[in-house]
Amino acid sequence: MKTLYKTAITICCSISILFFLGISSNLAYAVDDPTAPGIELDGNSFPDAEDDWDTVWNGGGAPDPGNAFVTSGIVADTDMYVFRKGSKDVRDIDQWAFEIGSSPPKNDIEHAYCSAYNQSGRLAIYCGANRAVTNGTATTAFWIFGNNVTADEVAGDFGSTTHAVGDIYVAVDHDNGGKIGEIAVFRWNGSDLIELDRSANLLEIPGTFCMDVNTSDGQPHDVCATTNAGNPSLPWDSPQAQEPGAFIEIGIDIGAVSPSLTCVSSAMATDRASTSIRAQTKNFLLFPFNVCGIEVSKRCISPVLINPTTLRYTIEGRVGNTGFGEVTSITLVDNPTITSGTAFAAFACDSNGFPTGTTTGNYPVASLAANSEVCYRATIDSTSNAPSDTVTVTASAAGTTLTETATANCPPFSPTTGISLTKACATKLTLSSSNITLKVNYNGKVSNLSDVPLTNVTVYESHDPLDLTAPQIVANGVVVTGTGAISLAKKNASGDMATYSDSYVPDSSSITVAAIGQDPTDPECALFKDRVVAVGKLPTILGGGFVTSLPTEAMCKLCPNGVCPIPAP
């Protein structure tokens, strides 16, 4: 349970920091209020009624945030970094330096951890740390950074990152045996670390110790600290029983202590041997902890062929503010880029997180309130079938740049394809000089049955009685005059059909009859058969393959009005 009273009760070997980032709410909690959701500040890691650090540990698996909206997980000090070159808390971050080394056991922070909760519209953050031993005096502290602070392992520094105005530093001085001696709260004012309040534990026993930094906000406790009186076992620390005072927790209402700190991006647990704020810090454990956040989702749908080599896809999704403060200047960038001359359109979101209704404008979006969302839609043009597409959202929160990406695999464009043709034929006698020649004239229509245009549409004809299949006709037949350069629009579009016609002079091998038993030498019975096949080329983006029709056959009689005797049974 969380303690309700101002001084000593239960002390634990962890640091837990409870932050209220000043989100507007009529309900104000003291930082040790047991009725609000959060981590139990009860001197151990086992959850009773609320979440506790065992919840986050999750048996050593993926961190479980429990009822928190974000958690750092249990962060182990695997790198053994220590401050060097006179690095002090009173100096700006770009003046700090570190290297791999060792600290006295009492200053060795082994693990640190943070979780953030929504307490009736206010932001509460709990952080914790446990150190190796508790003999002698020491100061355990937490930095709460507005900027994203990262360590450069090669250079041994933190780059050009500096403090954000309003960064909070909470220092807890331990007496021998781990009890809290003093608790002090500091705020970075832009050039120096300013002490806001300091109070001593006059009870001289372990327990929870609270103070009221802002006496005008109507809540009794802005800052609390506690250490463990017993010997709890922490499952992530071997497990082994913790010495009294090795597990320390601190709670801070940042809305009361530092209203300008509207976004937390990272945290650092530190320890030093001296209680002086100007002493060099020893061990530290730095980790990202972003309570301001942005998220983006994406899907890629509806491919449309716009030319033989290019598909146009629709991309859409949702952008959400996952933090507790307003984000501004929300922009989207896509890879591949969106269709030239277009923009990401902004929409309201439906219950599935996709655009609905009419557009409300274009990105960039000026601002997005906490726990709010805005959807988007755009198109991309791709020369690949089924490309992968990635969208990146960027936003600003209190000077911190937030970014997130989402990737979607676009579906393959698999249109219906096909081609068909009709055919009719007729015989004709032609007189040339002193010769009479018999010709077979044929014609028909070739139609595109595909959802895409076809090019190089060619009609092949064969009147060889042995050419029965499409491959045989294409291989052995002749190209019908005028075909081969035909282009057909997609099905049901203007230009999806073309006519063809040609003729041939038959020979005796082309003569056949309609039924078995009929006499092919009888002009009344003789007729000619020929077959045609159409072939069209698919768009390049589909691999440039071909689509082939089924063979179509027509029969025309030598004597169109002749009556062939029916054979006797």
Asked, for residue 8, whether it belongs to a domain, the answer is no
Residues 276 and 354 in one domain: no
Domain with residue 481: its CATH number is 2.60.40
Asked, for residue 93, whether it belongs to a domain, the answer is yes
Confidence of residue 26 (pLDDT cuts 50, 70, 90): very low
Token digits of residue 154:
């090669």
Total residue count of the chain as it appears in this document = 569
Residues 236-252 have pLDDT tens digits of 997 778 888 888 888 88
Q: Give the H/E segment covering residue 53.
A: helix 53-57
Give the number of domains in the chain. 3
SS3 (DSSP) at 81 = strand
What pLDDT is stored for residue 10 in this prediction? 34
Residue that finishes a domain, picked among 380, 409, 438? 409
Residues 67 and 166 in one domain: yes
The set of residues, in sequence order, having a beta carbon less than 8 Å from that of 427 and lying 6+ positions away, is 438, 439, 440, 441, 528, 556, 557, 558, 560
Q: Out of 1-10, 293-302, 377-386, which region has the weakest mean confidence (pLDDT)?
A: 1-10
Q: Is residue 39 scored above 90 in pLDDT?
A: no
- Across residues 167-193, what is the average pLDDT? 85
How far is C-alpha 210 from the chain's CA centre? 42
CA distance 168 to 257: 8
Q: Is residue 569 scored above 80 in pLDDT?
A: no
Residues 244 and 104 in one domain: yes
β 208-211/193-200 pair status: unpaired
Residues 115 and 198 in one domain: yes
Residues 260-312 have pLDDT tens digits of 887 888 999 999 878 788 888 888 999 998 888 899 999 999 999 999 999 99
Q: Out of 114-128, 279-293, 368-382, 391-405, which region has the weakest mean confidence (pLDDT)?
A: 114-128
What pLDDT is stored for residue 417 in this prediction? 97
Residues 186 and 89 in one domain: yes
Contact 14, 128 (CB under 8 A): yes
Confidence of residue 362 (pLDDT cuts 50, 70, 90): very high
Residues 477-498 have pLDDT tens digits of 999 999 999 999 999 999 999 9
| Residue 568 DSSP label | P
Residues 83 and 108 in one domain: yes
Q: Which domain holds residue 185?
A: 53-288
Residues 107-153 have pLDDT tens digits of 889 999 988 887 776 777 888 999 888 887 888 999 999 888 999 99
Nearest to 77 by CA among 124, 37, 111, 43: 111
Does residue 263 or residue 547 have the better pLDDT? 547
| φ and ψ of 547, to 5 deg | -120, 135
Asked, for residue 39, whether it belongs to a domain, the answer is no
Percentage of the chain beyond pLDDT 90 is 53
What pLDDT is stored for residue 163 in this prediction? 95
CA distance 143 to 130: 16
Residue that finishes a domain, picked among 265, 288, 311? 288
Q: Is residue 397 scored above 60 in pLDDT?
A: yes
CA dist 391 → 174, 290, 312, 400 (Å):
49, 21, 16, 20
Confidence of residue 94 (pLDDT cuts 50, 70, 90): very high
Asked, for residue 462, whether it belongs to a domain, the answer is yes
Q: Is residue 11 scored above 60 in pLDDT?
A: no
Residues 438-464 have pLDDT tens digits of 899 999 999 999 999 999 999 999 998
CA distance 551 to 569: 32
- Torsion 305-307-308-309 (CA) sign: negative
Nearest to 279 by CA among 416, 110, 86, 146: 86
- Across residues 525-554, what is the average pLDDT? 94
Residues 403 and 274 in one domain: no
Confidence of residue 178 (pLDDT cuts 50, 70, 90): low
Asked, for residue 228, whether it belongs to a domain, the answer is yes
What pLDDT is stored for residue 531 in this prediction? 94
Residues 397 and 444 in one domain: no
Residues 95 and 168 in one domain: yes
Confidence of residue 23 (pLDDT cuts 50, 70, 90): very low
What pLDDT is stored for residue 121 in this prediction? 65
Residue that finishes a domain, picked among 267, 288, 309? 288
What pLDDT is stored for residue 490 in this prediction? 96
Q: Give the Cα-Cα-Cα angle 357, 361, 364 (nearest 5 degrees).
A: 130
Contact 77, 283 (CB under 8 A): yes
Asked, for residue 511, whether it belongs to a domain, the answer is yes
Asked, for residue 402, whether it belongs to a domain, the answer is yes
Residues 488 and 545 in one domain: yes
CA distance 251 to 449: 71
Whole-number average pLDDT of the chain = 87
Q: Is residue 255 scored above 90 in pLDDT?
A: no
Residues 106 and 92 in one domain: yes
What pLDDT is stored for residue 462 in this prediction? 95
Residues 149 and 178 in one domain: yes
